[in-house]
Amino acid sequence: MRIDVLTIFPDYLAPLGLSLAGKARDKGLIDVRVHDLRAWTTDRHRTVDDTPYGGGAGMVMKPEPWGAAFDELLADGDATVVFTTPSGRPFTQAVARELATKERLVFACGRYEGIDQRVLDEVATRAEVREISLGDYVLNGGEVAALAITEAVVRLVPGFMGNAESLVEESHEDGLLEYPVFTKPATWRDREVPPVLLSGDHGAIAAWRRDQAVRRTAERRPDLAHASVLLEDVEIRPAEPADAGELYVLQLACWVAEQHDNPGVRIPALHETYDDLRSWLARDTVLVARSAGRLVGAVRASLDDEEWEIGRLMVAPDLAGRGLGRTLLERIEALAPGGATSYTLFTGAGSLRNQRIYKKAGYRLRPGEPIPGAVRMTKRIGPR
């Protein structure tokens, strides 16, 4: 990958010769070329800025030096031009991954009040232009942003990192912040390393790290993970009419996945209207689960002769596998009236994961297929 940087302060980019970036340059993995914009000025003062049209404070970078610089640099071949600016789109790990696929990047580091807009518009006619911001704050110039973006991008270039697996576990790679890390000694100033990390149980360690990443993300970056994913202080209560709207959305989200597992099967939950849902909400015994104010699960049941028929057991897709479905099942079973002698439920014939979960809860398949594409599972109700 080749990277060109246009700036009026070339020395600002010296850190690109240090650490892993410097080693990558020595190996030929990246080719970094820093250019002094003043080299394309034509007056003896090497002027790169002037007062803004329309008045106002500050100075604006002149178009002539930029235009001449791009004439020369873009003549070397195709490139993606990155203008670092607080008015650009936010820089994210996803953007870093995208830029890492480019063969050549050209960074334009503005100063003062920015670069004359005509430069960006003109360059866009002959190259891909990206306006990128590091965040909602203002720096003195674009060099710091160019350094940050460059480091985030080049470390994704194959061969740059000594251990490629370290890229997978980093913050933002899976939408979460990275879990806390520890090293020797095991005790430092009366602070202990979490025992699970010393256990040698790789499964338990992976689960702990995942839990810590989710927890850290929900607490520090609610824009990435809603607090509900922590499943702390989950409230399970009888449904109310006001829950209908959220319940309808959750039902559709959950049964779309069921449709994938059971292609060609007509799934009633995907064909119900909002009024249909409101009808059984008023008729049946329905429980809902809320976490941090969000409706994250639900289940319903009704008595059919001596069978406590359980249905619409649903958990928000992003919380699947966390035990909430099992808890809801246990809670709705506990509400079976005295005359019930068995629990019964239906699931898709192709929903093998659901069937395994219900078997662990004591349910067994009942012979026959009363509904096309579905199976019936039952469990006797013991003494209560």
Name the class of domain 2-166. Answer: alpha beta
What angle in degrees, to the nearest 10, is found between the helix axes of 244-261 and 274-283?
110
**What average pLDDT is seen over the chain?**
92
pLDDT confidence of 348, banded at 50, 70, 90?
very high
- Reported as a single tens digit per residue, the pLDDT across 285-339 is 999 999 999 999 999 999 999 999 999 999 999 999 999 999 999 999 999 999 9
- Reported as a single tens digit per residue, the pLDDT across 155-194 is 898 877 655 455 555 555 678 898 999 999 999 999 999 9
Which pLDDT does position 272 carry in this prediction?
96
Residues of the chain with CATH 3.40.630.30: 235-380
Q: Which residue has the tokens 């809801």?
A: 328
Name the class of domain 171-225. Answer: mainly alpha
Which residues lie below 8 Å from residue 82, measured CB to CB, with a gap of 6+?
A: 99, 105, 106, 107, 108, 130, 131, 132, 146, 149
Mean pLDDT of the 83-95 span: 94
Query: Residue 350, Cβ neighbours under 10 Å: how many?
Result: 19
Q: Which residue has the tokens 């990206």?
A: 130
Element (H, E) at 78: none
Tell if the pTM clears 0.85, that is, is over it.
no
Tell me which fold the domain 235-380 belongs to.
Aminopeptidase (3.40.630)
Number of H helices, E strands in the chain: 11, 16
Which pLDDT does position 22 carry in this prediction?
80
Residues of the chain with CATH 1.10.1270.20: 171-225
Per DSSP, the three-state class of 31 is strand
The DSSP result for 236-290, as a single string, is: EEE--GGGHHHHHHHHHHHHHHHHHHSTT---GGGT--HHHHHHHHHHSEEEEEE
In eight-state DSSP terms, residue 81 is: E
Q: How far is CA 147 from CA 107, 222, 286, 299, 368, in A?
A: 10, 27, 55, 52, 66
pLDDT reading at 93 higher than 80: yes
Which pLDDT does position 161 carry in this prediction?
64
Q: pLDDT exceeding 70 applies to what percent of the chain?
A: 96
pLDDT reading at 212 higher than 60: yes
d(CA 254, CA 357): 16
